A and B are shown apart, each in its own frame.
Chain A
Amino acid sequence: MSFQGFIIQLLSGLSVGMVIFLIAVGLSIIFGTLGVLNLSHGSLYMLGAYLCFWLSSTLSQFSGSFWWALFLAPVAVALFGGLMEVLLLRRIYEMEHLVQFLLTFALILIIGDLCKLGWGVDYHMVETPWPLNGPFILGQFIFPRYNIFLILSGPAIFVGLWSLIRYTRLGRVIRAVTYSREMASALGVNVPMVYTGVFMLGCGLAGLGGALVAPMSAVMPGMDMVVLVDCFIIVVIGGLGSLTGAFLGSIIFGLVHAFGILVAPRLAIAFGFILMIVVLIIRPWGLMGKPE
């Protein structure tokens, strides 16, 4: 295959990876800090996509409608997530994993049907906004501008989150709570509020991922489950609870997916699972996670 073809494949994989990174990182942080595997994370991503579609079409007479949607959709999803956390999740932190699984799965059903209720079962499209529509051309090399935008957003958000966790006071608080809920509480930290905040952050990121993906692929029912399973693969590879792990895992996932399709198109879907199985067997806590 030509060098150009290789680069295009590489960039395709990365753009897919970076979008899923946003969802996976939320899932990972939530698990790391709250100890809950939030199955409804894919649904929140879908909600973000639908809201982006709805907002950009409702506001279409205003210029820059997409950008408004891109800003508002994640905020809305974050608020929705906050509501979810306060009303429902708070009650199940102390319960067994099975119960948490069922509750978050129930949320998949509820959010999924709410989207159907709100926007029907047909698929919707969002127009790629100016100035990102159209191709990026460098000599012989052609690649969609929007995908480049996605590839750049990924690391930008990663760096932003990483700095937040590492250098700010809020980040220190989050780290303290992640390390030990009891200790942080004893030191005067309002742990329930931190939990809600972290959950909202994770949800907002998922919503952002959905909003970002809307111009690139159709917004439709079922997109929640596909992305959820991909996220599981990524957080297992990268390590549940690790920010860097989610980033690395996403990149690996994106590349495996992109090149897998070239090698064995029909089994490409399975490559991710095989990778997940391999990691779970050799190093269950993932690349960057900590052994229990």
Chain B
Amino acid sequence: MMELTLKRESSRIIAGLIVSFGLFAILPLFIGEGYVSLVNEMLILALAACALNLMLGFTGMVSFGPAGLYAVGAYTTALILIYTKIPFGIALIAGPVMAGLVSIVVGWFCVRLTQVYFALLTLAFSQIIHTIIFQWYGFTRGDDGIVEIPVPAFFHSITNYYYFSLVVVTICLCLLWRIVNSPFGKTLQAIRENPHRTEFVGIHVRRYRLSVFVLSGFFLGMAGSLYCGFNKNVFPNYADMMKSTEMLVVCLLGGIHTFLGPVVGSVVYMVLDKVITLYTEYWPLVLGLVIVGLVIFLSGGIVGFISEKIAVARQRDTG
């Protein structure tokens, strides 16, 4: 019986995937290039948010510093493209690989701690990455950023790069989906729910936390590299706290406990961003108010649902 349900479910998911991909693919035929560019940006943001959510929503690790790894990806690709003649494809892959390597080092330190201290440590590392990029003027061009990055002529067209991003993001999301639904993914959720108990079903929790930190970093770097190719510029503020918070807000907007939540969140966020900035220069103020509203009033919705169920888990904690 369950066999049948599973088969039906997975064919539904695959159907949904093909339909959405199809919709995104035919989009450029209907809307102007400016909008295509926006959707492209949204796709990359969605990838970054989903990468973050692997840690955040599925493993319960709150990181204040995803932007650091995102920037590592972006800058690695940028630096390779301007200093060497290595082809674009390789430069692109080098970004997430480098981000993954940096995540191993950063993660090794961070997963020794939990909760607030974990969060603060991720912030510290992210700020260090920012400082390095900012100060190493000779190599990274510091505050000026790296501009006019040479990408293959094929990608000078907005539409072409859009299709490229769509394919890359879709592949990455499929990989992330596989991970979330694998035994590893289930174990991560158990760690989120009750790390103490998970330890006692034979899982070395810290090692799993490190693994997910690195996976998350890899995909964050991928998003960064994609953005580098999209924007053809990179700047130190790719690593700052505002960027990290943007990713966190996107996750929370859409819901951190579902796989597609961050994707929804990135759509909503981008729409809000572009619409609001048409009317006022005080976008931070409006965003702040939106977040406050979300936190306080949407208690029936996403946030409340999370908190409600947390109460069940908390009962266990205070024992």
Is there a contact between chains A and B in the complex with CB atoms less than 8 Å apart?
yes
Q: Which residues of A contact B (CB under 8 A)?
A: 37, 88, 91-92, 94-99, 101-103, 105-110, 112-114, 116-117, 225, 229, 232-233, 236, 240, 266-267, 269-270, 273-274, 276-277, 280-281, 284
Residue numbers in B under 8 Å from A110 (CB-CB): 284-285, 288-289, 292
Main secondary structure of the interface of B (DSSP, over half): helix
Residue numbers in B under 8 Å from A91 (CB-CB): 295-296
Q: Is B120 an interface residue (CB 8 A)?
A: yes
Our pick among A98, A233, A236 for the contact of B248 (Cβ within 8 Å) is A98
Our pick among B117, B248, B296 for the contact of A284 (Cβ within 8 Å) is B117
Q: Mark contacts of B241-276 with chain A using CB atoms, 8 A cut-off: 1 yes-contact digit, 0 otherwise.
A: 100010011001000100000000000000000000
In the complex with contacts A273-B127, A277-B124, A102-B119 CB distance below 8 A: no
Our pick among B121, B241, B290, B292 for the contact of A280 (Cβ within 8 Å) is B121
Residue numbers in A under 8 Å from B288 (CB-CB): 106-110, 113
Docked-complex contact A277 and B287, CB < 8 angstroms: no
Our pick among B120, B135, B289 for the contact of A266 (Cβ within 8 Å) is B135
Q: Is B43 an interface residue (CB 8 A)?
A: no
In the complex with contacts A96-B307, A276-B124, A280-B113, A113-B291 CB distance below 8 A: no
Our pick among A113, A276, A281 for the contact of B285 (Cβ within 8 Å) is A113
* A-facing residues in B70-90 (Cβ within 8 Å): none
Docked-complex contact B127 and A102, CB < 8 angstroms: no
Residue numbers in B under 8 Å from A103 (CB-CB): 291-292, 295-296
In the bound assembly, the distance between CA atoms of A117 and B294 in angstroms comes to 24
Docked-complex contact B287 and A109, CB < 8 angstroms: yes
Residue numbers in B under 8 Å from A270 (CB-CB): 128, 131-132, 135
Docked-complex contact B112 and A232, CB < 8 angstroms: no
Q: Which residues of B contact A (CB under 8 A)?
A: 56, 62, 64, 109, 112-113, 115-117, 119-121, 123-125, 127-128, 131-132, 135, 241, 245, 248-249, 252, 256, 282, 284-285, 287-292, 294-296, 303, 306-307, 310-311
Docked-complex contact A101 and B119, CB < 8 angstroms: yes
Our pick among B64, B245, B289, B303 for the contact of A99 (Cβ within 8 Å) is B303
Residue numbers in B under 8 Å from A232 (CB-CB): 120, 123-124
Docked-complex contact A106 and B291, CB < 8 angstroms: yes
In the complex with contacts A94-B307, A110-B285, A284-B113 CB distance below 8 A: yes
In the bound assembly, the distance between CA atoms of A94 and B303 in angstroms comes to 12
In the bound assembly, the distance between CA atoms of A240 and B284 in angstroms comes to 29
In the complex with contacts A91-B296, A270-B128, A277-B124, A99-B285 CB distance below 8 A: no
Q: How far is the CB of B135 from chain A (nearest CB, A)?
A: 5
In the complex with contacts A269-B135, A270-B132, A277-B125, A105-B296 CB distance below 8 A: no
Docked-complex contact B303 and A236, CB < 8 angstroms: no
Beyond A108-B288, A240-B116, A281-B109, list 6 extra A-B contacts (CB 8 Å). A96-B307, A97-B62, A102-B295, A114-B285, A232-B124, A270-B131
